[in-house]
Copies of this chain bind each other. A is one copy, B any other.
Amino acid sequence: MNLSPRTIERLSKYRRLLSRYKRPENTYIFSHHLARLLDLTPVQVRRDFMLIGISGNHRKGYNIKELINLIGQTIDVEKGHNLAIVGMGNLGRAVTAFIKKNETKMNIVAGFDIDPSKVDSTVVDVPCFHASTISVNVKKYKIDIAILTTPPEIAQEISRTLIKSGVKGILNFTSVHIEAPENVYLKDYDIITSLEEIGFFIKGQ
C-alpha cells in the first residue's frame, strides 16, 4: 500500500490512542471524537480510514477493535521487527526501557557497546554484545532496525557497518548527520537542534 510518512504517523497515533481508550463500554468511536483528541479534522480521520479500507457507521461510528486490527494489518509485519540498540549508555538504556514499557511489535533483540561491564551480559533485559560483532549479530538475529545512541565521534562509522550488515532503518539520536543509501529509512532525533529550533521560535515572547 502506498501511504505517506504522515499517514503512517497518524495511523500509529490512532492505534495507540484507541488501545488506551478501549474499555468494555467503548466499542465504537466517531471520527470527530478521534479528531478532537489528536487536533485533526474529522475529514482527515475519515480519509485515513478509507485508505486502509474501513468505513464507519453513521449512527455508531467506527468499531474500535476493527480499527486497531486493520491498522495493525497495514503497518505491522507479522512477526514484528527485530531491533538493536547501538550504544548502551544512559540514553540507550533509557530508550530501551521506554520501548519495553509500550505495547509494540518491536522486538529488542540485541544491544551493542564496548564497555566491558556491559558486553556479554544483559542490560535492561537485553543481551549486550561487543560493537565489533555488529556485522555477525545483525545477520544472526535478523536485525532490521537500529537505534543509534553512540557517542558522536563514531556514529558515522557504526552506521556504515550497520547498513552494510543489512539494517534497513535507523532512528538516529546522535545529532550527527548520517549518510545512508536511499533504501535505508533514516529518522533523526536531534535533541540539540530541536531545542535551538524551539528557542528561536519563542524568542521575544
CB-based contact A144/B90 at 8 Å: no
The residues of B that contact A201 with a CB separation of less than 8 Å are: 5, 8, 169, 185
CB-based contact B192/A187 at 8 Å: no
Known: A75-B200, A93-B90, A205-B183. A17 touches B177 (CB 8 A): yes
Which of B17, B90, B104, B197 contacts A196 (CB under 8 A)? B104
A175, closest chain B residue (CB) = B16
Smallest CB–CB gap between A45 and chain B, Å? 13
Is A109 part of the binding interface, using a Cβ–Cβ cutoff of 8 Å?
no
Known: A5-B197, A104-B192, A199-B76. A205 touches B99 (CB 8 A): no
- Stoichiometry, copies per complex: 2
Is A136 part of the binding interface, using a Cβ–Cβ cutoff of 8 Å?
no
Known: A98-B91, A99-B192. A199 touches B169 (CB 8 A): yes
A202, closest chain B residue (CB) = B168
The residues of B that contact A81 with a CB separation of less than 8 Å are: 195, 198-199, 202
A-side residues, CB < 8 A to B, are: 3, 5, 8-9, 12-13, 16-17, 37-39, 74-77, 81, 83, 89-91, 93-95, 97-99, 102, 104-106, 144-145, 168-171, 175, 177, 179, 183-185, 187, 189-203, 205
